[in-house]
Amino acid sequence: MYIPFLTILVFFPLVGALLLLLLPRLNVRTLYTLAGVWALLELIGAAFLVDLGDYATAGYNAIEPLNWVPSLGLNYRLGLDNISAWLVILTAFLTLVTIVGAGFIAPITDRPNVFLAWVFGLEMGIIGVFLSTNLLLFYVFWEVMIIPAYFLIGQWGGPNRVRAAVRFVLYTFAGSLLMLVSILALVFLTTPAGGVPSLDFESVRKAIVGLPAGTQDWLFLGFAAGFIVKVPLIPFQSWLPDAYSESPAPVTVMLAGAMSKTGAYGFLRFGVFLFPNAAHDFAPWLAGLALVNIIYGALAALAQTDLRRLLAYSSLSHMGFIILGIFAMNSQGVSGAVLQMVNHGIVTPALFLALAAMARRVPSQNLNEIGGLQKVMPRLAALFLVLGLASLGLPGLNQFAGEFLILGGSFLVSPIYAVVAVVGLVLAAWYMMRFFQAVWHGPEKHSTAVQSIKVMDMQLPEFALFVPLVLLIVLLGVAPIIVTGPLSNTVTAWLAPVIIR
């Protein structure tokens, strides 16, 4: 019997969302438990995706075509390789983390069923992006992502949530319009006279090579506009600090952990793999922008006193590494970038949630108003230390493994890239330790903030969430081959035409 496995994977969350909206009023705890189970099922399904047994797999492991409107080039066509497999697993995992986080760490009790429905909607959009192998279908999922993200930021966030949500939509919308123009132009340019248009990834990729170089460049730039905004790269970042810091922490988990990866993934598959020539032309520029991101984000984090904004800038800086790896356009850089998408997707959400756990106890998130908290909450302090160390790239923890390959890959292209990027690592050590010490070490600040601590150290639900995250951080630091092994041949195969040209 034929089972459209990928299709089920994409729409299973949507079914969950609809069920949540239709269900009678349940109490909050039951609702979150049900949603958690639903997300767990999705994660288990996703976990079967990676072709772990055989490192030799290259290209797509599975393709699910369905000729939707063939005469229009709009095919419903899903495909899976080991790159998208890891990102789908990450997204499913982060959805579960978000639900646990919203249920127990930073509780969201306002219309929880609607909230959860939007979370599942966002999950569907993101997974759809990772699995689409038709350009127009990709675009549809890309736009679908915006709606849940908009409502999640705008309805459950902090005081400035509406401004943050509008700003987010404006930016992403502007970027994706340019991408749409490129896609439409591709339809016109690649359809043979009187023939049937096709926007399937493979056929477009073959057709693009025949286009004039200048045209390829312009088309590439259209796509790049959409991705740059989503990652984001400087100077299109100004939606990010607000969106990350105004959203409730569980939403930030989805935004920073999963959604930011769609931009990087887009750059990889619909940038480098789809437009090898144009990617070559623009690689130095985009690598340069990535370096700007790394340094700019790190410097901003160094000067921030608001902890959530500090983490937002830190995340921005780390996204720069991922883009740098992609535009090294060699196996080391690209494998490292995909590995780092997974790593960043674990560490950054964990940090935001840990901060939320702290914020429940200490009603200030400003460096200048708190201090010496290790004495009251030693376990939470230890958690922050591990997460901070992972984030600053301590060798032995997971982010180092990604940075190692990314920097190695870019070093092979030009040592200057690596030399500039490591300045970002030094700055990361600086701002992370400043952050950690200001909160946990130093003399206790006898401000109202510290005096009104209600709950003491970490509680059981928090252990249940953070212990697995920390174990993953250690595991992927000690044996990143778990991720890079299955990637190895896939990446090499995709890059072959890029490197040869």
Partner 1 sequence: MPEAIGLVVLFPLLGFLLVAMFGPRLSERSAAVAACAAVGLAFGAAIVATLGIGDGKSVFNYDWTVAGDWRVSFGLLADQLSVFMALIVTGVGFLIHVYAVGYMAGEENYRRFFAYLNLFVFAMLLLVTSDNFVLLLVGWAGVGLASFLLIGFYTDRPSAVAAARKAFVINTIGDVGLLLGIFVIFANTNAISYARVFASPQLTGVTVDHNWINWAAFFLFVGCAAKSAQLPLHTWLPDAMEGPTPVSALIHAATMVTAGVYLVVRAGPIFGRSDVMSIAIPLLGAATAIYAASCALVQTDLKRVLAYSTMSQLGYMFMAAGTGAYQAALFHLMTHAFFKALLFLTAGAVIHALGGEQDMRKMGGLGRQLPLARGTFLIGALAISGIPPFAGFFSKEAILGTFPLLGDGNPGITYGLGAGGQALIGWVGVVTALMTSFYMFRAYFMVFEGRPAEQTAHLHPTGQAMSIPLIVLGLLSTIGGLVMFPGLWNVFGDFFNRVFTTQLYQNLPNAKVIAPPTDGLEVTNLVFALGAGFLGIVFAGLAYQRLWRNRPTTIEPLRGGQNFLLNGWFIDALYNQTIAAGFKGLGTLIVHGIESVQQVLVDRGIGGAIWGSSRGVRRTETGYVRNYALVMMLGVVAILIYVAIVGLQR
Q: Contact between 19 and partner 1 (CB under 8 A)?
A: no
Binds partner 1 (CB under 8 A): choice among 107, 372, 468, 497: 372
Residue list 147-166, contact with partner 1 (CB under 8 A) = 147, 150-151, 154, 162-163, 165-166
Q: Contact between 174 and partner 1 (CB under 8 A)?
A: yes
**Contacts of range 282-285, beta carbons closer than 8 Å, 24 or more positions apart:** 282/217, 282/220, 282/221, 282/224, 282/327, 283/327, 283/328, 283/329, 283/413
Q: Please say whether the beta carbons of 222 and 73 come within 8 A.
A: no
| Between 11 and 173, CB nearer to partner 1 | 173
| Between 7 and 488, CB nearer to partner 1 | 488
| Between 101 and 222, CB nearer to partner 1 | 222
Q: How many H helices and E strands in the chain? A: 20, 2
Q: Please say whether the beta carbons of 122 and 13 come within 8 A.
A: no
Binds partner 1 (CB under 8 A): choice among 145, 289, 409, 473: 409
The C-alpha atoms of residue 350 and residue 353 are separated, in whole angstroms, by 5
The C-alpha atoms of residue 332 and residue 487 are separated, in whole angstroms, by 11
Nearest in space to 152 (alpha carbons), one of 180, 178, 126? 126
- Per-residue binding string, partner 1, 189-228, x by CB under 8 A, is --x-----x-------------------------------
Residue list 81-100, contact with partner 1 (CB under 8 A) = none
Q: Contact between 396 and partner 1 (CB under 8 A)?
A: yes
Q: In 329-437, where do the E strands start and end?
A: none
Q: Contact between 121 and partner 1 (CB under 8 A)?
A: no
Q: Contact between 113 and partner 1 (CB under 8 A)?
A: no
| Between 35 and 301, CB nearer to partner 1 | 301
Nearest in space to 78 (alpha carbons), one of 34, 124, 35? 124
- List alpha helices for 191-257, DSSP H: 201-208, 213-230, 240-246, 249-252
Q: What is the dihedral sign for C-alpha 179, 182, 187, 191?
A: negative
Q: How far is the CB of 40 from partner 1 (least distance, A)?
A: 27
Q: How far is the CB of 472 from partner 1 (least distance, A)?
A: 16
Q: How far is the CB of 8 from partner 1 (least distance, A)?
A: 25
Q: Contact between 426 and partner 1 (CB under 8 A)?
A: yes
Supply the DSSP symbol for 192. P
Residue list 251-290, contact with partner 1 (CB under 8 A) = none
CA distances from 122 to 6, 338, 405, 490 (A): 17, 21, 30, 27
Burial level of 289, CB count in 10 A (0-12/13-18/19+)?
A: buried
Q: How far is the CB of 144 from partner 1 (least distance, A)?
A: 9
- Per-residue binding string, partner 1, 427-466, x by CB under 8 A, is x-xx--xx--x--xxxxx----------------------
Q: Binding segment for partner 1 among 36-44, 77-85, 123-131, 487-495 (CB under 8 A)?
A: 487-495
Burial level of 459, CB count in 10 A (0-12/13-18/19+)?
A: middle
The C-alpha atoms of residue 147 and residue 52 are separated, in whole angstroms, by 34
| Between 254 and 401, CB nearer to partner 1 | 401
Dihedral, CA of residue 116, residue 142, residue 84 and residue 412, to nearest 10: -130
Binds partner 1 (CB under 8 A): choice among 14, 26, 184, 453: 184
Binds partner 1 (CB under 8 A): choice among 290, 470, 491, 498: 491
Q: Contact between 105 and partner 1 (CB under 8 A)?
A: no
Q: How far is the CB of 310 from partner 1 (least distance, A)?
A: 10
Q: How far is the CB of 37 from partner 1 (least distance, A)?
A: 30
SS3 314: helix
Q: Contact between 172 and partner 1 (CB under 8 A)?
A: no
Q: How far is the CB of 426 from partner 1 (least distance, A)?
A: 5
Binds partner 1 (CB under 8 A): choice among 47, 178, 404, 468: 404
Size, binding site for partner 1 by CB under 8 A: 88
Task: Tell me the CA end-to-end span of the chain in Å, nearest whole number.
Answer: 41
Q: Contact between 311 and partner 1 (CB under 8 A)?
A: no
Q: How far is the CB of 329 from partner 1 (least distance, A)?
A: 11
